[in-house]
Amino acid sequence: ADLGRLLVRCQDQPGIVAAVSTFLTAAGANVVSLAQHSTAPEGGTFFQRTEFHLPALPAALPDLHARFAEQVAAPFQMDFTLTDAAHHQRVALMVSRTDHCAMDLLWRTRRGELPMTVAMVISNHPDLAEEVRSFGVPFVHVPATRDNRAQAEARVLELLAGNVDLVVLARYMQIITPAFLERVGCPLINIHHSFLPAFIGAGPYAKAKQRGVKLIGATAHYVTAELDEGPIIEQDVVRVGHQHDTPDLVRLGADVERAVLSRAVRWHVEDRVLRHEGTTVVL
Amino acid sequence: ADLGRLLVRCQDQPGIVAAVSTFLTAAGANVVSLAQHSTAPEGGTFFQRTEFHLPALPAALPDLHARFAEQVAAPFQMDFTLTDAAHHQRVALMVSRTDHCAMDLLWRTRRGELPMTVAMVISNHPDLAEEVRSFGVPFVHVPATRDNRAQAEARVLELLAGNVDLVVLARYMQIITPAFLERVGCPLINIHHSFLPAFIGAGPYAKAKQRGVKLIGATAHYVTAELDEGPIIEQDVVRVGHQHDTPDLVRLGADVERAVLSRAVRWHVEDRVLRHEGTTVVL
Amino acid sequence: ADLGRLLVRCQDQPGIVAAVSTFLTAAGANVVSLAQHSTAPEGGTFFQRTEFHLPALPAALPDLHARFAEQVAAPFQMDFTLTDAAHHQRVALMVSRTDHCAMDLLWRTRRGELPMTVAMVISNHPDLAEEVRSFGVPFVHVPATRDNRAQAEARVLELLAGNVDLVVLARYMQIITPAFLERVGCPLINIHHSFLPAFIGAGPYAKAKQRGVKLIGATAHYVTAELDEGPIIEQDVVRVGHQHDTPDLVRLGADVERAVLSRAVRWHVEDRVLRHEGTTVVL
Amino acid sequence: ADLGRLLVRCQDQPGIVAAVSTFLTAAGANVVSLAQHSTAPEGGTFFQRTEFHLPALPAALPDLHARFAEQVAAPFQMDFTLTDAAHHQRVALMVSRTDHCAMDLLWRTRRGELPMTVAMVISNHPDLAEEVRSFGVPFVHVPATRDNRAQAEARVLELLAGNVDLVVLARYMQIITPAFLERVGCPLINIHHSFLPAFIGAGPYAKAKQRGVKLIGATAHYVTAELDEGPIIEQDVVRVGHQHDTPDLVRLGADVERAVLSRAVRWHVEDRVLRHEGTTVVL
């Protein structure tokens, strides 16, 4: 408890680390961990994640925020967030019929492995209702098809509005429109299969099989208007061979998908992931 | 010594394993290892690799070949090869300026890790002459540019004709024409970088960096008329992060490239790789 | 359906593969896959796993077994098993308080990823009763401590007798006595953490942390009278660093443990694992 | 150029990061990268590695060192080192007959992958003389056996004295005595094979084979008086199976050994590795 997290981003320039750490020390905080990154030796963008211990943090936070904004963020033209690590992010999962990713996140959250609260699960199919509710998590069925997309998205936005800090597409097979992204007001993380090289379109595991690929993988990324082109948070692969048929590839792919997604979500809710143009910095 | 290798490929049908193994047993051979694969439970293509021990194999091979052709291959309409494992394949390396793949193959061959003979190294640059020759391997400089492609390929074909069983493109940066492939008379293995997802065109490491990829990899494949689209023999990846700049990615990629290429070449010269349509079976 | 599995083990000698495959072909079976291994070029032990398709297999199996015993197994002095792949093995899980391995096996079985039936879960603690029963699997609480070991083992043997083909120790923290092993009448698979190098005794993750290990792993093995020294079925590792504290290592270790255990159990129930002296052959 | 590296270690306490970064900023330096670690939330040991850019660093370094010692290191009771990244460490390799690790380090150094200078190679066998000298590196043969150990170590110490910053035991099969360690005056890095679980004594690959291990690995560590028990810098593994015989394990182990050793050496000469009691922090 009393663990705070400060994330900053600004144009790289001399004196940032000194200014931030001097501010925290003066405020009575002790730096517990500090990671930083600059995108270039000269003229790059600077990122820093600082965890600090400050007695009675919850009470001190508003004032600390105001003073940091004025004394440090303003002169350095910084973007920053200042949060209490004890405050769990509220997360909505969206899922279609394939359950492995959503179940893995619910399970890990219950085991205490993911510092977050699953606020709700939204699905365009009713299939997973019972299983989700056995975790004590609300399940909402919002039928979605090509024909009622606008209406379905409006219903989902209504459910999410003001209620969540993050949406995880845990194998949600409907398209997310740019209009939805503009209005949702929080980041979305998606998971999808990945191959070397990529196999575009339907049936990618079957195509990978035809080409004799030896590795199948998964990528977790932030959702942007360009489908499956958002900044990558995490990736992993598993080795396969000619002895695996397409259903084997799907099964092995499922294991990689849930491992990669759970790591990406964990890093996000621990405030480790900073977005920058098309990429991420994981501190 | 006296270790033979029999590779067969045919339409899958009952009795193949029995026919092959009964033939070998009757011929006085002892099966040392046997691996097989069928592409489908019904109506697939069948592949088998058998290693066997037969006293005085070199003397017995021509007769064994003739009898297998008549007694087994003909009735089952099999493709087959029958080789003496002691007979090393002769391999030509083609390389441009980047030396890590060619050096790794030369080094492993000298250490006895690759059962093959490097017959020659052909390069479109003179840079590696001295280093290659220190391994006791002939180095031939064949300048190749867009403008003299036909002439350069003719010169290379002249050098290879009848002299090699395999060509390895160990980071050879010139395009190989379909005309060359038709005339070369032996398989070619190529190595190239790979990513999840793929980044097409020039500067792939820089593009991967911009997207925040967490894994970079390499693919070894047979060369076909479709550039970089041939059947995959082997792949691997290495984990990277935001802290790696583009030169780091290139350096780490080089390590994966040489590991993947040396495994692919090893499996090929051990007669483990069977091609089938766009894929491979590695037995 | 109608998929049979034949496992054989005998002294290596010429003609085994031919005899087995000729027998199957004559019986009207089609070999679907065949894998074999010999422990030495001369005088080794030979192992073979053959999957075959035979119409109306369930009805044909008893007669096939009797004829194989007489015509092939007897002359070659073979051990063999002949099974119907459609017949799922009955598996008992034994677990203490830590649930990740048992839950993973129950979950994968329900998803159809593991071709087996979980016949019961036995625990020396009542904690997991509700969760196990939600999978429709009987849960039996058999309190076990140092003081009542003989009595507790007798109770467990009573539950298992005649009911199961395999016992999986899915993080069962009580010692298994040699007397129990002699009487249980089926194989046991255990999972435990593993490190390079090994850290013996209590608190291995803390010891690994003190030494700065960069990889933590898990080993699944058959249980023998020598504690944690039985033949290894599967192993894997995950990369760690100084930034991980001991609870992180435990959490990451749990992920490796369940992945390794589920693979080992899967291979066992698919009749892929042959034991030989202190080792295994996974075909 | 003009890139400096500051490593500090002290009792964790509030204000360290602020003091260090404020000092550097006041000195006109720009922090390029900063990584830190504390071994415990309260009362731990604190480590920090800072890379900074300072114009005309070589000329400024002596004064910077003196002022840092007085203004920061003294009040915080810090250990610290302050170096110019352009100043390559001088490294001696010690090797017996097995060449893969020494060759890999020489090769990577020539390719510019390792920012260091190989000052000499010392071997207790003459075998590698020619190959080492082809890299332009002095090779010194110091015969060493059980009988002349004291004399041989004296000769090696004479060669090293004042000439090197690091000794790498690149498969050097002679015992290093505590007396040697006391007098050598620089750190030693060793590489050795590693398994899960460990196999002690001679012939570890054969023992691993008998147990059916599925992973073989390598560990690079600092040498301490306890043989093979020093703080671990890096580890890695490769997957193996029953199809690999003991020579295969040795060959695959060699690949892991050179990969692990080259990473450990790289991190050491980049001043990334801090020792702390029995462990390391790699920043």
Tell me, what's the pLDDT at B27?
Answer: 96
Q: What are the chain D neighbours of B103 within 8 Å (beta carbons)?
A: 107
DSSP state of C124: S
pLDDT greater than 90 at residue A185: yes
Long-range contacts of C160-164 (CB under 8 A, 24+ apart): C160/C92, C160/C184, C160/C185, C160/C186, C161/C185, C163/C90, C163/C92, C163/C119, C163/C120, C164/C90, C164/C91, C164/C92, C164/C119, C164/C120
Q: Do D31 and A53 touch (CB under 8 A)?
A: no
Q: Cβ of D21 and A18 within 8 Å?
A: yes
Note the Cα C196 to chain centre separation in Å.
Answer: 23
Edge-to-edge strand order for the sheet containing A215-222? A139-141, A116-123, A89-95, A166-169, A188-195, A215-222, A232-239
How many CA within 13 A on the CB side of residue B79? 9
Distance from CA of D282 to the nearest CA of A (A): 13
pLDDT at A99 over 70: yes
User: What gap in Å lies between CA B242 and CA D76, rounded to an integer?
Assistant: 32
User: Considering just the CA atoms, what is the radius of gyration of chain B in Å?
Assistant: 21
| Closest Cβ–Cβ partner in C215, C228, C241 for D282 | C241
CA distances for C192 relative to C84, C169, C178, C260, D213, angstroms: 31, 10, 19, 10, 14
Q: Which residue in chain A has the smallest CA separation from B264? A: A214
Lowest mean pLDDT among A48-52, B98-102, B166-170, D200-204: D200-204
* Topology of the domain covering D3-84: Alpha-Beta Plaits (3.30.70)
Question: For the residues B77-82, what does the mean pLDDT come to?
Answer: 96
Of residues B264 and C216, more confidently modeled: B264
Q: Per mean pLDDT, which range of A95-99, A207-211, B9-13, C17-21 is the poorest?
A: A207-211
Sign of CA dihedral C107, C110, C111, C116: positive
**Beta carbons within 8 Å of B165's beta carbon, 6+ residues apart:** B89, B90, B91, B186
pLDDT (0 to 100) of residue D1: 83
Cα–Cα distance measured from residue D242 to residue D212, given in angstroms and rounded to the nearest whole number = 7
Over chain B, what HEC string results? CCEEEEEEEEECCCCHHHHHHHHHHHCCCEEEEEEEEECCCCCCEEEEEEEEECCCHHHHHHHHHHHHHHHHHHHHCCEEEEEECCCCEEEEEEECCCCHHHHHHHHHHHCCCCCEEEEEEEECCCCCHHHHHCCCCCEEECCCCCCCHHHHHHHHHHHHCCCCCEEEECCCCCCCCHHHHHHHCCCEEEEEEEECCCCCCCCHHHHHHHHCCCEEEEEEEECCCCCCCCCEEEEEEEECCCCCCHHHHHHHHHHHHHHHHHHHHHHHHCCCEEEECCEEEEC
In whole angstroms, give the CA distance from residue C198 to residue D271: 28
Distance from CA of D280 to the nearest CA of A (A): 17
pLDDT, average across residues B34-59? 91
Chain B CB within 8 Å of residue D135 CB: no
Q: Which two tokens stand for residue C179?
A: 């007397």
For residues D18 and A24, the answer to whether their CB atoms sit within 8 Å is yes
Annotated active-site residue in A79, A228, A236, A255: A228
Closest alpha carbon within chain B to D114: B251
Using alpha carbons, select from D153, D136, D141, D135 the residue that is nearest to residue D97.
D141
CB pairs under 8 A between A and C: 11
> How far is CA A245 from each of CA A193, A207, B40, D169, rounded to the nearest angstrom?
16, 12, 9, 46
Closest CA to A235 of A217, A223, A252, A250: A217
What's the confidence (pLDDT) of residue A277? 85
Q: Does D17 touch chain A (CB under 8 A)?
A: yes
Question: Considering only CB atoms, which chain B residues are within 8 Å of D107?
Answer: 103
Per-residue pLDDT of C223-277, as tens digits, reads 998 867 789 999 999 998 888 888 888 889 999 999 999 999 999 999 999 998 8
A37 CB within 8 Å of a chain D CB: yes
Closest residue of D to B259, CA-based?
A: D255
Say whether pLDDT at D176 is over 70: yes
Radius of gyration from C-alpha coordinates of chain A? 21
Shortest distance, CA A119 to any CA of chain B (angstroms):
29
CB-CB neighbors (< 8 A) of B241 in chain C: none
Q: How far is C29 from chain B (nearest CA, A)?
A: 7
Task: Give the per-residue pLDDT at B119.
Answer: 98
Contact (CB<8Å) D195/C196: yes
Provide CB contacts within 8 A for D105, sequence distance 6+.
Answer: D91, D93, D114, D118, D168, D170, D258, D261, D262, D265
Residues of D within 8 A of A12 (CB-CB) are 30
H or E stretch including D160?
Answer: helix D149-160
Band of pLDDT at residue D197, cut at 50, 70 and 90: low
How do residues D27-82 score in pLDDT, each as one tens digit? 999 888 899 999 887 889 999 999 999 999 999 999 999 999 999 999 999 999 99
Cβ of A111 within 8 Å of Cβ of C100? The answer is yes
- B196 and A213: CB-CB below 8 Å? no
Helix or strand (DSSP H, E) at C256: helix C246-269
Q: Given A103, A113, A243, which is nearest C251 (Cβ)?
A: A113
pLDDT at B108: 94
CA-derived radius of gyration, chain D: 21
Predicted local confidence at residue B160, as pLDDT: 97
Distance CA C248, CA A113 (A): 9
How many angstroms away from the CA of C267 is the closest CA of chain A? 14
DSSP state of A114: S
Instruction: Provide DSSP, A32-96.
Output: EEEEEEESSTTT-EEEEEEEEE-TTHHHHHHHHHHHHIIIIIHHHT-EEEEEETTSPEEEEEEE-
Q: Does A228 participate in catalysis according to the annotation? A: yes
In this predicted model, what pLDDT tens digit does every residue of D81-140 receive, in sequence order?
Answer: 999 999 999 999 999 999 999 999 999 999 899 999 999 999 999 999 999 999 999 999
Closest CB from D107, D111, D251 relative to B113: D251
Please tell me if residue B32 touches chain C, with a CB cutoff of 8 Å. yes
The CATH architecture one would assign to domain A89-282 is: 3-Layer(aba) Sandwich (3.40)
Chain mean pLDDT for chain A? 92
CA dihedral sign, ordered B244, B245, B248, B252: positive
Per annotation, catalytic residue among B63, B79, B228, B245: B228
At residue C200, the pLDDT reads 62
The answer to whether the Cβ–Cβ distance between B18 and C22 falls below 8 Å is yes
CB-CB under 8 Å, C34 with B18: no
Q: Is the dihedral angle over the CA atoms A61, A65, A71, A77 positive or is it negative?
A: positive
pLDDT at position B200 = 63
- Contacts for B115 with CB less than 8 Å, ≥ 6 apart: B85, B88, B266, B269, B270
Backbone angles phi, psi at B176, to 5 degrees: -100, 125
Interface probe, candidates A242, A261, A276, A281, chain B, greatest B C-beta count within 10 A = A242
Numbered ranges of CATH 3.40.50.170 in chain A: 89-282
Cβ distance of D282 and C243 shorter than 8 Å: no
B 186-225 → D contacts, CB under 8 A: none
Kindly state the tokens that stand for D180. Answer: 């040697």
List where CATH 3.30.70.260 sits in chain A: 3-84
Q: For residue A3, with 0-12 CB atoms within 10 Å meaning exposed, 13-18 middle and 19 or more buried, which class applies?
A: middle
Q: Which residue has the higher pLDDT, A1 or D123?
A: D123
The angle subtended at Cα A55 by Cα A50 and Cα A60, nearest 5°, is 80
Query: Which DSSP state fits C158?
Result: H
pLDDT at position A201 is: 67
Between CA D184 and CA D224 the distance in angstroms is: 12
CB within 8 Å: D195 and C195: no
Task: Give C-chain residues touching B29 at CB under 8 angstroms.
Answer: 14
Please tell me the least confidently modeled range out of A55-69, B229-243, C46-60, D51-65: B229-243
Of D196, D235, D282, the CB nearest to C235: D196
Contact call for residues A125 and A153 (beta carbons, < 8 A): no
pLDDT exceeds cutoff 70 at A148: yes
- pLDDT tens digits for A238-268? 998 888 888 888 889 999 999 999 999 999 9
Helix (H) or strand (E) holding D206: helix D204-211
Return the higher-pLDDT residue of A264 and A42.
Answer: A264
- The whole-chain average pLDDT of chain C stands at 92
The model's pLDDT over C130-171, given as tens digits with 9 standing for 90+, comes to: 999 999 999 999 999 888 999 999 999 999 999 999 999 999
Q: Are B215 and A198 in contact (CB under 8 A)?
A: no
What φ, ψ does residue A51 adopt, rounded to 5°?
Answer: -105, 135
Q: Does residue A200 surpass a pLDDT of 70?
A: no
Residues B110-138 have a mean pLDDT of 95
Contact D202, D222 (CB under 8 A): no
Interval C70-92 mean pLDDT: 96
Residue B237 and residue A196: Cβ atoms within 8 Å? Answer: yes
User: Between A100-110 and A246-269, two packed helices, what is the crossing angle to 10 degrees?
Assistant: 40
| Chain A nearest CA to C134, separation (Å) | 9
Q: Is 80 exceeded by the pLDDT of residue D184?
A: yes
D158 and B CB contact within 8 Å:
no
What is the tens place of the pLDDT at every residue in B17-40? 999 999 999 999 988 889 999 888
Chain D residues closer than 8 Å to A41 by CB: 32, 53
Amino acid at site B61: L
Residue A261 contacts C where some CB pair is shorter than 8 Å: no
Residues of C in contact with D212 (CB under 8 A): 231-233, 278-280
Judged by CB atoms closer than 8 Å, whether chains meet at A107 and C103 is answered as: yes
